[in-house]
């Protein structure tokens, strides 16, 4: 299934994308798409619905984040060897784990706002993993059984804040609007192998990132197992798993986002995002 939330910010309603790509309302079935709707049993119940009998949603509504109630937004750094190389950093021996603030989460096509004082705001297309059942000290063999589904993520990053402002990547990763998710939450039955997904990102129509999850240093299963050794993963937690090469920081000369820039990105089977860069506003 492809699950969505649509409508104005703070007033999103649950829906799904049917086999013909049409948006259908789930508002009469569930109140929202959040932790309580992500268990295997809850998703199985939704999968038994006859999508063609659900109400069609008129017009092209705004898509919000495909799930709500996210308690942790966990990120993995330098998880592609060629991205580590373009960053001038060694390949990590273990996954690099940091956090993105949940307050940065937004819809897939909402504008990206440059933070106050930003000079090095950058892009990163990434595979997002949504946890469906609690995971504590899980093995790699069992890790994917704890996944509800997957979504596209743009791990927007302010590099000066991240790297040059006294340590801790978090401060350059959690600015408002820096976590577009979606457009869909695609359930894991539609993604039999998360290590075979092509991904791309364009800035102003120029393709800058082309990659595949097959070149990850640490697989999705390894990441889930690893992170579960340090914190309990709860339903609705999101892990974004790293980016392939082609970020602005790695270009010669470096290229960073400015007011009016247009981004587009996508991952096979997980949909596309489009964002316009806007100036800081309180």
What are 92-110's pLDDT values in tens digits? 999 999 999 999 999 999 9
Which pLDDT score, from 0 to 100, does residue 143 have?
98
pLDDT at 168 > cutoff 90:
no
Q: Which domains does the chain have, with CATH numbers?
A: 2-53 (no CATH), 73-278 (3.90.850.10)
Q: What is the pTM of this model?
A: 0.96
93 alpha carbon, distance to own chain's centre: 24
Using CA atoms, how far apart are residues 155 and 241, in angstroms rounded to an integer? 10
Assign 178 a pLDDT band (cuts: 50, 70, 90): very high
Rounded to 5°, the CA angle 98-32-46 comes to 105
Q: What is the rounded average pLDDT of the residues 137-159?
A: 98
Largest CA distance in the chain: 55
Average pLDDT along the chain = 96
Helix (H, G, I), strand (E, B) or coil at 214: helix
CB 193 within 8 A of CB 122: no
């Amino acid at each position: 299934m492809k699950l969505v939330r649509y409508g104005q910010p703070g007033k999103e309603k649950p829906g799904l994308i049917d086999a013909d790509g049409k948006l259908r309302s789930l508002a009469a079935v569930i109140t929202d798409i959040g932790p309580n709707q992500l268990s295997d049993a809850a998703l199985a119940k939704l999968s038994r619905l006859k999508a063609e009998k659900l109400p069609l949603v008129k017009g092209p509504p705004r898509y919000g984040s495909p799930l709500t109630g996210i308690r942790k937004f966990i990120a993995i750094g330098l998880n592609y060897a060629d991205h580590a190389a373009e960053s001038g950093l060694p390949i990590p021996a273990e996954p690099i784990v940091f956090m993105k603030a949940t307050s940065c989460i937004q819809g897939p096509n909402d504008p990206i706002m440059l933070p106050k004082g930003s000079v090095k705001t950058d892009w990163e297309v990434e595979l997002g993993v949504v946890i469906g059942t609690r995971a504590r000290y899980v093995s790699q063999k069992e890790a994917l059984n704890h996944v509800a589904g997957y979504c596209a993520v743009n791990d927007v990053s302010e590099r000066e804040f991240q790297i040059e402002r006294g340590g801790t990547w978090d401060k350059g990763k959690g600015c408002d609007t820096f976590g577009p998710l979606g457009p869909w939450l695609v359930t894991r039955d539609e993604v039999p192998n998360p290590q075979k997904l092509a991904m791309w990102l364009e800035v102003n129509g120029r393709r800058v990132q082309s990659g595949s999850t097959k070149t990850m240093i640490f697989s999705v299963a390894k990441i889930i197992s690893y992170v579960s050794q340090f914190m309990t993963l709860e339903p609705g937690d999101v892990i974004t798993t790293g980016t392939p090469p082609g970020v602005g920081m790695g270009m010669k000369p470096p290229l960073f986002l400015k007011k009016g820039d247009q981004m587009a990105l996508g991952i096979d089977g997980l949909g596309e995002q489009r964002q316009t860069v806007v100036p800081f506003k309180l």
